Amino acid sequence: MYYYIGPNNQQQGPVPAEQLLSRGVTGETMVWKAGMAQWQKAKDVPELKQYFGASPFTVGNPYDNQSTQFNQPPPNYNGGYGNYGPQYAGQFGGAQPMGPKPDSYLVWAILTTLFCCLPFGIVSIVYASKVDSAWRIGQQAEAEDNSNKAKNWALASALTSLAVWVIYIIIIVATGASLGAFS
């Protein structure tokens, strides 16, 4: 992976060698990678000769004043992790975040949907299904928020169902008692 000096003398990269040309790097552009003692012109780096070999059509580099300005490795080089330090390595490619994974309450959401109150249970399932994906991409706070919402909606579904059943039983008992008076 190479770093290179782009427009306005801005350090760019890291990028693989085969992508340097597509990024506008020429043989005169200053490049550096881990293991190199200092910045060099791309055409002078042995493993880049295949990309920047001598050609009669070579055009001068618009960044001519680079040759003496950059003689140290990039200031933000930190072992190949781009602009992020090793403490974030892998977090942006699917690795799990540091905190514990919150409970999704998916089982409770499904059970309350099937046996209790369908509308509230569905909302609970939606929030429960968002917990794992938020946690996997490092959004711990969002995962915990979705977990709490899934739990609250499952609880609301169960309590609503309980209230409906209590009211139903009261109506049945009251209606049964009044029917007994007429017989």
Structure tokens at 56: 């009669």
pLDDT 10s digits, 62-117: 554 454 455 555 555 544 444 444 444 444 444 444 578 899 999 999 999 898 88
Overall pTM surpassing 0.75 (yes/no): no
* Torsion-angle region of 143 (φ positive above 0: left; ψ -120 to 50: alpha; else: beta): alpha
pLDDT range class, residue 24, cuts 50, 70, 90? confident
pLDDT range class, residue 166, cuts 50, 70, 90? very high
pLDDT for 136 beyond 50: yes
**Beta pairing partners, 21:** none
Angle between helices 106-115 and 140-182 (to 10 degrees): 20
8 Å CB contact between 59 and 27? no
- In the Cβ-directed half-sphere of 107, how many Cα atoms lie within 13 Å? 1
pLDDT for 132 beyond 50: yes
